Amino acid sequence: MHTKTDSEDTSLAPSSPDNSRPTAYYVQSPSRDSHDGEKTTTSFHSTPVISPMGSPPHSHSSVGRHSRDSSSSRFSGSLKPGSRKILPDAAAGVGGRHHRKGQKPWKECDVIEEEGLLEDDRSSKSLPRRCYVLAFVVGFFILFSFFALILWGASRPQKPKITMRTIKFDHFGIQAGSDATGVATDMISMNATVKFLYRNTASFFGVHVTSSPLDLSFSELTIGSGAMKKFYQSRKSQRVVAVSVIGNKIPLYGGGASLSTPSGATPLPVPLKLNFKLRSRAYVLGKVVKPKFYKTIDCLLTLHPQKMNAAISLKNCTYT
């Protein structure tokens, strides 16, 4: 420290009132140039706040303008790398709750709206995946149905073929008797064997074959019946099926009066009718494609007494 001279005291004396002048403070507040969701440039404006002690003289207003200009130039530009970014909440804390006229406060809902838009975009992107799964299921169902329809259409023409062969009577006799109620009538007993050829013409599936009872009738009266055992016939194969038709003491109730003799053997030819129905079912594609084939067979034949124990050809047959 050095001792002040009189000249220095004289030069500094007029400026002493400036030391008692209140200090000017500058408050920085953020402003947004755009409020439509676009990127905004954050600038900080310096607003002078005068101490309650007094106001600065007009002679020093240039110093305040210079300070504001330098402050604005420092904060209005882009932040340098490595500097801390001031968030809207921090800027609002610095600027307080007071804003300039015409300046709108920061909207906190913008962040929420943007997050909602992001969630909508994610949901819209995940929607096609569900659509792909649904399209795959629908496409698979359509293709499977189309394939099943092709198999069904291809299997329909491949119907099995039945050819009646022979019938042989081992026993056929009429004798007097009575029914279950005690009414006297002629009773007929017979035993015969029916043979037919079954051929599966299908090239890619087998069939399960069943049949209704084989009924042998005389004058609309059933005198014998037989049941065929169900069987499975593989593709492009055939077999001869033999079925026993048996009748035991079937009452004729006057219908066979001309056929009865004391010996029990009939001297006259006996017209008979044989009828039954065959059912064939194929499982081409599991239980989805199950073509069914029905064949009703009616045969007319005549039993001659001299042809007993001999095979009678079944040529007069209809297949429907």
Return the SS3 of 155.
helix
Per residue in 80-135, pLDDT tens?
A: 444 454 454 544 444 444 445 555 555 555 545 555 555 555 555 555 777 888 88
Confidence of residue 175 (pLDDT cuts 50, 70, 90): confident
40-47 long-range contacts, Cβ below 8 Å, gap at least 24? 41/76, 42/86, 42/91, 43/72, 43/75, 43/76, 44/71, 44/72, 44/75, 44/76, 44/91, 45/72, 45/100, 46/71, 46/72, 47/100
Question: Does 159 have pLDDT greater than 60?
Answer: yes
CA distances from 138 to 129, 135, 141, 149 (A): 14, 5, 5, 16
Confidence of residue 184 (pLDDT cuts 50, 70, 90): confident
Please report, rounded to a whole number, the percentage of residues in the chain having pLDDT higher than 70.
Answer: 57
Between residues 173 and 117, the one the model is more confident about: 173
Q: Are 264 and 173 spatial neighbours (Cβ–Cβ below 8 Å)?
A: yes
Between residues 120 and 211, the one the model is more confident about: 211
| Rounded distance between C-alpha atoms, residue 28 and residue 17, angstroms | 29
Per residue in 237-295, pLDDT tens?
A: 999 999 999 999 888 887 666 676 666 567 778 899 999 999 999 999 888 899 999 99
Return the SS3 of 38.
coil
Q: Are 66 and 46 spatial neighbours (Cβ–Cβ below 8 Å)?
A: no
| Rounded distance between C-alpha atoms, residue 250 and residue 248, angstroms | 6
| Rounded distance between C-alpha atoms, residue 298 and residue 143, angstroms | 43
